[in-house]
Amino acid sequence: MENSYLDQGAAIREVGRGYDILKQLHGLLWLKSRNGEEAVHTQELAEPLFREALQALNYALCIMRPGVGSVEVKSEIVVLESGSPAYSSHESVASYDSNQRIDNGRGKRRRVEENSWINNTSMPYDDGYQWRKYGDKKISGTDFPRSYFRCTYKEEYKCTAKKVVQQTSDGETPSFRVTYTNKHTCNFRKTISPPTSQSSSFGSIEQDSGINQMPDIMPQQLNQSSCLVDANNLEKIYANASMVERNWEWDIESFLMDW
DNA sequence: AGCCTTTGACCAGCG
DNA sequence: TCGCTGGTCAAAGGC
């Protein structure tokens, strides 16, 4: 299979998205180190960003790899907490599933011909998008029911994104196989905006422009912090973080622009 | 009131 | 052709 320019464009966008999220993670690390103490639950904030970045990069790799259908990108995040065993590894496997069947109207099924990919994960329900469950089915040969989700904005924005969550193992860190079908066309995602002099409020659900997304953090996660950082301090920290990253930032961004 | 999940029924693909 | 199975619909109830 030959990649089209459209596919390359999509891949570039996904790589850009992953890069952007990693930048935000870098800012988070600064947030912690500059405050000296555990001012923010860094892990709690960083984890969804890691997952988001991995998902974007996995998807981009799927697009870019020749011979789609055999793509298998494995990546793993291990977050270590001092004084405790490794926080569970988070495994993510993206692949196109050429044998999967999808719907074609009420009850119709056919072999996949459009975009779908699989993500094996231990946290299937928080991927930054809003989903509405529309079905639940016990599948023969499996120990756990399969759940069917569609994008919440299906009607409003004709978003055709869907996902199917199948638990594959139980235990302390249960794993799930999440099959995504179709990319989101609604572009709605949980985001926060950096505080500005005009606004110090955190947290909004806004339409993202595709590449300059802010961290995928819910406002309540910030409010749960034992020591809140006021808006002015946070603004300074964001500014400092972006100064530090400027050295390596240009190389990647110019690459993404030239590619 | 509006959005969500649950759940049984329905329907079409597949062997 | 028929039964099994997986995916979706839609009513009902909950939050």
DSSP A56-76: HHHHHHHHHSSSTTS--EEEE
**Chain B nucleotides covered by protein, CB below 7 Å:** 3-14
Alpha carbon distance A152, A156 (integer Å): 9
- Residue A9, pLDDT > 60, answer yes
CA/C1' separation A253–C15 (Å): 46
Cα-based distances in Å from A49 to A70, A107, A207, A251: 27, 36, 18, 22
| Best-predicted range by mean pLDDT (A27-36, A45-54, A153-162, A246-255) | A153-162
- Residue A61, pLDDT > 50, answer yes
pLDDT for the residue A59: 65
What are all long-range contacts of A29-32, with beta carbons under 8 Å and residues at least 24 apart? Answer: A30/A237, A30/A240, A30/A241, A30/A244, A31/A229, A31/A234, A31/A237, A31/A241
A177 touches strand C (CB under 7 A): no
Q: Which of A5-14, A58-67, A133-142, A186-195 shows the lowest per-residue confidence on average (mean pLDDT)?
A: A186-195
| Best-predicted range by mean pLDDT (A19-33, A124-138, A178-192, A235-249) | A124-138
CA closest to C1' of B10 belongs to: A107
Nucleotide nearest to A109 (CA to C1'): B13
User: Closest Cα partner for A217 from A144, A145, A86, A128?
Assistant: A128
pLDDT for the residue A129: 80
Residue A178 banded pLDDT, cuts 50, 70, 90: confident
CA/C1' separation A109–C1 (Å): 20
pLDDT for the residue A147: 93
Mean pLDDT of A129-153: 90
Give the sign of the dihedral formed by CA A237, CA A210, CA A132, CA A142. negative
CA/C1' separation A156–B3 (Å): 14
Tell me the β-bridge partners of A205.
A190
A107 touches strand B (CB under 7 A): yes
Q: Which helix (H) or strand (E) holds A169?
A: strand A162-169
Nucleotide nearest to A166 (CA to C1'): C6
- Percent of chain A surpassing pLDDT 70: 29
CA/C1' separation A71–C1 (Å): 39
A110 touches strand B (CB under 7 A): yes
A134 touches strand C (CB under 7 A): yes
Residue A28 banded pLDDT, cuts 50, 70, 90: low
- Residue A165, pLDDT > 80, answer yes
Residue A154 banded pLDDT, cuts 50, 70, 90: confident
Cα-based distances in Å from A224 to A30, A42, A221: 19, 12, 5
| Residue A221 and residue A45 in contact, taking contact as beta carbons nearer than 8 Å | yes
pLDDT for the residue A115: 65
Q: Which of A40-49, A105-114, A232-241 shows the lowest per-residue confidence on average (mean pLDDT)?
A: A232-241
Alpha carbon distance A81, A95 (integer Å): 30
- Mean pLDDT of chain A, nearest integer: 56
Tell me the β-bridge partners of A131.
A151
- Which alpha helices (H) appear in chain A, and where do they start and end? 5-35, 42-64, 154-157, 219-223, 231-258
CA/C1' separation A95–C9 (Å): 29
Report the predicted TM-score, pTM, of the whole model to 2 decimal places: 0.49
pLDDT for the residue A7: 59
CA/C1' separation A56–B3 (Å): 29
CA/C1' separation A68–B14 (Å): 25
